[in-house]
Amino acid sequence: MAERQNLGEFEQVVLLAILRLRDRAYGASIRTEIAKCTQREPTPGALYTTLDRLEDKGLVKTNMGHPTPERGGRRKRFYKVSPAGVDAVARAQTAFRRLLDGVELPGVACVY
Amino acid sequence: MFTEATAKRLLCLVTTPDRAEAILGDLTEISSSRGPVWFWSQWSRALAAHAFKAVTSAPLRFILLAVGGISIHTFISMTMLELAAITDYVAYLDPSDLQASLSLLPSVFWLSLVFFAFVGNLMTGFLLGRFASTRGLNGITPFLTVQIANWVLYPVVGTFVFSLPWAVVGAGVLLLPFVSIFPLLVGGVTANRKIT
C-alpha cells in the first residue's frame, strides 16, 4: 500500500492548479492560474521548489515539451498530477469540507 | 557580461539542467510583458530558493553537511597551519610574538597562512560538493552559511573576546571573503554533480 502523503496549503493550491490546467500545466501557466484563482502571485522560488518537492514525493509527473520562440527557444516542463497526487489532494479537500460543514463563513457558499 | 547563458549555468549549479531550462523559459515568457528587471529579480529569487532548499527540505542533512564541512575544514586547516608554521615557527610557537610578526608584514608565515587557508577552503568545497549526494552548490550551502557567519562574527569576537589588535581584525575582515568564501564557492562549483 502506498504511503499516505500529507499536503501543505501551497502544495494543495499547486496541485489544484495543475488539475485545472489539465495538459497545459507548466511553470508559467501554473503561476498565472494560481494568481487568477487566489489573487496572489506566487514567487518563482516558492513555486518551483514546491513543484520539485511534489515531484520528489511522486505526486506529480513531468515531461519536457518542445522549444518555443517566445521562451527564447527553451522547452516547457509539463506537469501532470499522478494517481497518488489525486488521492492526496482529494483527502485534503475532503477533510477541509468536513471541517467547513456546519460552519457559516461570509462570502463562502455551502458546497453541500 | 552577465547573460542568460550565465544565468542558466548558475541555475544548473542548484538544480537539474532540465529544470533550469524550464525555469528560464517560464521567466522569459512572463518577462515579455514585465521587463528585464522583473526577469533578473525573479531569477535571483529562484536561485536563492533552490540554493537554500537544502535547509528547508532536509534540516538534518543541512546540519550534517555543516558539521561535515567544519570537520573537513578543521582537519585540512590544522595540517595547513603546521605547514605554514614551518616557515616562521617562532611566531607560531610564541603567540606573544604575534605583534612583532605582524610588524614584519608581509612575512612568509602570513603569506603562506593565507595561501593554505585558500587551498584548505578550496579542498573543503570540492569534497563537500563531490560527496554530499546533491548538486555542488547545495552541498556547500550549509558550510558556506557557517563561513559567512564566521566572517560576520569575527570582528566582534576578535575585538571583544580575544582583544586582537585592530590590524589583525581589519586584515581578517578584508581577507576572509577571499580566503574562505570565494575558494569554498569555487571548490563546490568545480565539484558540481550532474544529478538528473
- Region A54-82: mean pLDDT is 92
What pLDDT score was predicted for residue A110? 61
List the single best residue of A57, A74, A75, A79 to mutate versus B (max B Cβ within 10 A).
A74
Best A10, A29, A31, A49 member to test B by mutation, with max B CBs in 10 Å, is A49
Report the pLDDT value the prediction gives residue A77, as an integer from 0 to 100: 95
> What pLDDT is recorded for position B144?
86
Which of B9, B24, B26, B50 has the most A C-beta neighbours within 10 Å, making it the best mutation to test the interface with A? B26
Chain-chain contact of B29 with A28 (C-beta, under 8 angstroms) = yes
The C-alpha angle B45, B134, B18, rounded to 5 degrees, equals 60
- pLDDT at position A108 is 74
Percent of chain A past pLDDT 90, that is, above it, reads 61
Indicate the SS3 state at residue A76.
Answer: strand
Task: Give the per-residue pLDDT at B196.
Answer: 40
pTM for the predicted model, two decimal places? 0.69
Instruction: Please give the Cα distance from B85 to B79 (Å, whole number).
Output: 10
Residue pLDDT, tens place only, A22-57: 999 999 999 999 999 999 889 888 899 999 999 989
Q: Give the closest-approach CA distance of B70 to chain A in angstroms.
A: 27
Give pLDDT < 70 ranges for chain B.
1-2, 54-55, 84-109, 133, 136, 193-196
Query: Given an 8 Å threshold on Cβ–Cβ distance, is A45 in contact with B49?
Result: yes
What residue in B sits closest to A54 (Cα-Cα)? Answer: B57
Can you give the pLDDT at residue B85? 66
| B18/A45 touch (CB, cutoff 8 Å), yes or no | no
Is B49 in contact with A77 (Cβ distance < 8 A)?
A: no
Chain A within 8 Å of B133 (Cβ-Cβ)? no
Question: What DSSP letter does each residue of chain B carry, written as one string?
Answer: ---HHHHHHHHTTTS-HHHHHHHHHHHHHHHTTT-HHHHHHHHHHHHHHHHTHHHHH-HHHHHHHHHHHHHHHHHHHHHHHHHHHHHTHHHHH-GGGHHHHHHT-S-HHHHHHHHHHHHHHHHHHHHHHHHSSS-HHHHHHHHHHHHHHHHHHHHHHHHHTS---HHHHHHHHHHHIIIIIHHHHHHHHHT-----
Contact (CB<8Å) B49/A75: no
* Contact (CB<8Å) A43/B42: yes
The pLDDT of A53-82, averaged and rounded, is: 92
Give φ, ψ of A81 to 5 degrees: -75, 130
Cis check for the bond before B183: say yes or no (omega within 30 of 0): no
Q: Mean of the per-residue pLDDT values for chain A?
A: 89
Q: Report whether B135 contacts B52 (CB < 8 A).
A: no
| Mean pLDDT across A60-87 | 93
Nearest to A49 among B22, B24, B49 (CB): B49
Confidence (pLDDT) at A90: 94
pLDDT at residue A86 greater than cutoff 60 = yes
